[in-house]
Amino acid sequence: MVTATYNAGTSIAKVYVDGELVASGSVTYNNFSPYPISIGETYQNNCVAGNMDGAVDEVKIYDRALSNEEIQSEYNLSHSSMVLFLPFNGNANDESGNNNNGTVSGASLTQDRFGLNGRAYQFDGIDDFISIADNPNLFSDELTISWWYKMTEILSGERVVIGWVDGGHRYQQFFNGGQISYLNGYNVGQPGMYFNPIYGLNELNIWKNVVVTYEKLSETTSTTSIYVDGELKQSDNHTLAMDYVPGIDFFIGKNHNGNFFQGSLDDMRIFNRLLNGTEILELYHDSTTYFPPAIDSLVAYFPFNGNVNDESGNMNNGVNHNASFAMDRYGIDNSSLFFAIGVESYVEGINPGNNLPVGNSPRTFSAWINTGVYNQYGSNIFHYGTQQAAPTNFHFLITDVLGLGNGYGFGVVYGNQNATDGIWHFVAGVYEGGTERIAKLYVDGKLDASGTISTEPNTILGTNWRMGKFMEGSTNFQGYLDEVRVYNVGLTEQEVWDSYKSTTTAPTLLFPANNSTINTLTPVIDWDSTVTSIYYRYVISVDSEFTTVIADLNLYSSSYQIPSGLLQENTNYFWKVRTVNDGGVGPWSEVSKFDISITSVEDEKQIPKEFSLMQNYPNPFNPSTNIKFRIPDFGFVSLKVYDVLGNEVATLVNEDKTAGSYEVKFDAAGLSSGIYFYKLQAGSLVDSKKMILLR
């Protein structure tokens, strides 16, 4: 990539190759041609006639001189820095184009994080591994290493994910008990020989994404960071920089000392540069390895965006009978369906169902609901099959708890959690099919109940399907219904959770982090929300069931300083937050736990341990908004705002800052409505977020 900049104010011209400055000098231009721009030839611009012999791609022209950092970022975005990509889709072949193919020894194919068979590898912890021939491109002075894992038990001893250490060179990554040595780096030629930063990571039976970055700062210093599920968890500085010596194989699932990994691994990627926080978050949300896309199994999808059409592509459109369009859980008008009390309101299909599951085949139903009405005989969410008392029809319903199974008394499995509390809930019913006839019910992404349907389903597509009213009966659904989906597969627990997390309004709790210990009795608690709120409901308790609540408040910003006198040392505290907006009350966040240990009475100041940038509040905004961030160390900090073209429109912070929590106000007076980005940089740590100015 070649780049040239010219600054008329300074008369300085610069030339860059692949993001790096290669030449600069003073140039005076005083004869700007009125003729059109030409590509591939010189065109009447006081130049000797000539044509280019070669290829040109992605030509961009800006009306300002880009900075060195912007040009490097532009190159990073357009240049593939991925040196290893193992999606494990039936094999261990490298799809980065670098031919770092793996040879599988014993490891067996298993389900990936999407529940797809043969798309990840299972390692037995005894002698299973994958080997890749030595290649220096797997080592760099800048590295980003990403992989997904799932373990079913915590085991002692080194459980190696990547092993590339022999003779005191290169690096490895391994679990040991409930901790991970996230980058064990070696250089036998330096004092100390190795570094070994450790982070606590002990969640079981769920897929987790680990991303590790490494940067060599000098011949004898370096820095590392670990991200889990897209969030920065820890950064460490080291008085040693790794080195590379050729010769040995790159191992996955073991090291050269014979320590083996036990569990599942998937989607391993290595980059020869530092990915920034935004890129790492995008990596966590990346689903490009989900080859059989959800649309293949999604046979009906009703987002209710002003109509009752099916957007799955299966043409299962409906006819609306007296239901009205209303605000959804995000507070967006005409984006959910409201079934009123005392009104015969329902949606009926124009057909019995194209590609809806039949017979005893697996199936999944999911929806967002908001109802406060209990009905002893059940209210219908989705019902299809035949209009007769037989196991030839199937429904997903709610009394005060969820129900899934055959209609009209031929076997229904019921849940446990009350979901008729006037709050938005994500609900799902999964039938796994087969002779076991297992049905599972989920509320807000978590398993609520499972059981066996007493009579084997034999669903026959005979009568037009319905939502809001059974095909036979008068107990109508009363409340709000949104984003109804039907799949012709039984979704896994992970897939149900992912579907909930990708669509929920529940905030993400930031500080204090879960299972953390803090050094203050008056912490500033923080959370992040991607949706507009009227207020947040915040609750803190001394028990995880919230039976002894010590504070229950409505708050109007996404942070709150707990006043003195409420908390005490050596006590566990549990807290959660939910969003309330024009669309109603959203589900609770996940519960976070912390305790307090005052190690210095004189210094009870709250010092962040993590770098974090919060979502601005309010968002959308007019004309001003607040941005909060935390930095764990002293250093130079910049916080800048850019428009969608990458033009810098404001500098909010540009100075040295001590470790701490900060909040700045951004006044967008003079700017037009639209999308803007704000970027925080503190040393090598970078994160950015999007905000909307709406006048």
Where is the domain boundary, 78, 99, 124? Answer: 78
Same domain, 394 and 519: no
Same domain, 23 and 144: no
Residue 99 in any domain: the answer is yes
Q: What is the pLDDT of residue 604?
A: 43
- Give residue 296's pLDDT band: very low, low, confident or very high (50, 70, 90): low
Phi–psi pair at 198, nearest 5 degrees: -125, 140
| pLDDT over 50 (residue 675) | yes
Q: Report pLDDT digits (tens) over 354-372.
A: 889 999 999 999 999 999 9
- Name the CA dihedral angle for 626, 631, 635, 641, rounded to a multiple of 10 degrees: -30
Q: Stretch 644-669: mean pLDDT, rounded?
A: 88
- Name the CA dihedral angle for 117, 123, 124, 129, rounded to a multiple of 10 degrees: 140
Where is the domain boundary, 568, 583, 605? Answer: 605
Q: Stretch 503-522: mean pLDDT, rounded?
A: 87
Do residues 425 and 419 make contact, with C-beta atoms less than 8 angstroms apart? yes
Reported as type and span, the H/E element at residue 298 is strand 298-302
Q: CA dist 76 to 50, 73, 274, 354, 406, Å?
A: 31, 5, 10, 45, 55
Q: What percent of the chain has pLDDT over 70?
A: 93
469, amino acid identity:
K
| Tokens at 222, concatenated | 């370096």
Cα separation of 639 and 657, whole Å? 12
Number of helical (H) and strand (E) elements in the chain, helices listed first: 4, 50
Written in H, E and C, the secondary structure of 217-273 is CCCCCEEEEEEECCEEEEEEEECCCCCCCCCCCEEECECCCCCECEEEEEEEEEECC
Q: Report pLDDT digits (tens) over 150-203.
A: 998 888 889 999 999 988 899 999 999 889 999 999 999 888 899 999 999 988
Q: What is the pLDDT of residue 33?
A: 59
Same domain, 415 and 335: yes
Q: Report residue 35 CA to chain centroid gap.
A: 48
Q: Tabulate helix, strand, coil % of the chain (nearest 5).
A: 5, 45, 50
Same domain, 482 and 357: yes
- Give residue 122's pLDDT band: very low, low, confident or very high (50, 70, 90): very high
pTM of the model: 0.50
Q: Which residues pair with 689 in a beta bridge?
A: 678
Where is the domain boundary, 448, 471, 501? Answer: 501
Same domain, 547 and 558: yes
Q: What is the pLDDT of residue 131?
A: 96
Q: Report pLDDT digits (tens) over 363-400.
A: 999 999 999 999 988 899 999 999 887 899 999 999 99
Residue 402 in any domain: the answer is yes
Q: Stretch 69-81: mean pLDDT, rounded?
A: 67
Same domain, 39 and 170: no
Same domain, 157 and 88: yes
Q: Which residues pair with 46 in a beta bridge?
A: none
Residue 290 in any domain: the answer is no
Same domain, 564 and 695: no
Same domain, 655 and 685: yes
Task: Dump the DSSP string for 389-440.
Answer: SSTT-EEEEESSSEEEEESTTS-EEE-SS---SSS-EEEEEEE--TTTTEEE
Residues 6+ apart with CB under 8 A from 258: none
Find the domain containing 670 and state its range: 607-695
Domain with 601 in it: what CATH number?
2.60.40.10
Phi–psi pair at 214, nearest 5 degrees: -135, 135
Q: What is the pLDDT of residue 291?
A: 38
Number of domains in the chain: 5
Cα separation of 179 and 264, whole Å? 17
Residue 398 in any domain: the answer is yes
Same domain, 302 and 448: yes
| pLDDT over 90 (residue 214) | yes
Domain with 211 in it: what CATH number?
2.60.120.200
Q: What is the pLDDT of residue 308?
A: 93
Q: Report pLDDT digits (tens) over 125-158.
A: 999 999 999 999 999 999 999 999 999 888 888 9
Same domain, 144 and 248: yes
